[in-house]
Amino acid sequence: MMSRKTIGILGGMGPEATAYFFELLIKNTKAACDQEHIPILIWNNPQIPPRTDAILHKGRSPWPLLRQGLDVLEKAGAGLIVMPCITAHYYIPQIKRRVQVPFVNLLEQSTDYAKKAIPGLKKAGLIASSGTVASGLWHRTFESAGIEIITPNRTDQEQVMEAIFGRRGVKAGFTSGLPKQAILRVARKLIRRGAQAIIAGCTEVPLVLGPKDIPVPLIEPMKIAALACIRKAGYKIKESKS
């Protein structure tokens, strides 16, 4: 049997996405009692500077506080580390040089999933922060697998940012109404442009967009990575009742 590991979550970007990821780990682990669940360490630091601002050269780098969180988790005994913030994956090169334990990459896990679960996928629509879009993270990862990425036009991208970061956006605690309507509207436009799947490319997106909301597959990196973490930690996935 694979040796069991404690999962370390580098979170706070934002707190609700971190809580959602934690919940995904709990709900998808095969466990009949408390003692059969995975030991999990969470470093939830919402003071980490905005990742999009840093990538677009409009704000401070989040790297010093990301580095601090990595150190805390590793010293506390994390056997693997995961970061439920896709935009912060921009700092993957520094992260891999910093930590000695395995790091679970949401983009790589999602690419592997897409190749296996959606045969024939050639074009995927991306709903993500402007920083993530500008970084080309998804483009490089998916296009290396032969999958084209299409993104919203400028006006629609502004609506995505407002839905996530606005005063009544997801990060402000609003997960219904206008934020959901805006994300769904953008997703439908991408589908009309030929997207055969939609990538929830920001960790707040699945808080307002579910698989049943759209007529094509939803690639949800948070759930995909949570299942990968469960396996890599040496535990079993709970079978779906559906």
Distance CA 39, CA 146 (A): 37
What is the number of H-type helices and E-type strands within the chain? 10, 8
Q: Beta partners for 126?
A: 199
Q: Hey, what's the torsion of the CAs at 179, 84, 90, 78, to 10 degrees?
A: 170
Catalytic residues: 85, 202
Distance CA 81, CA 40 (A): 10
CA-based nearest residue to 192, from 182, 181, 200, 184: 184
Read off the tokens for 133: 């879009």
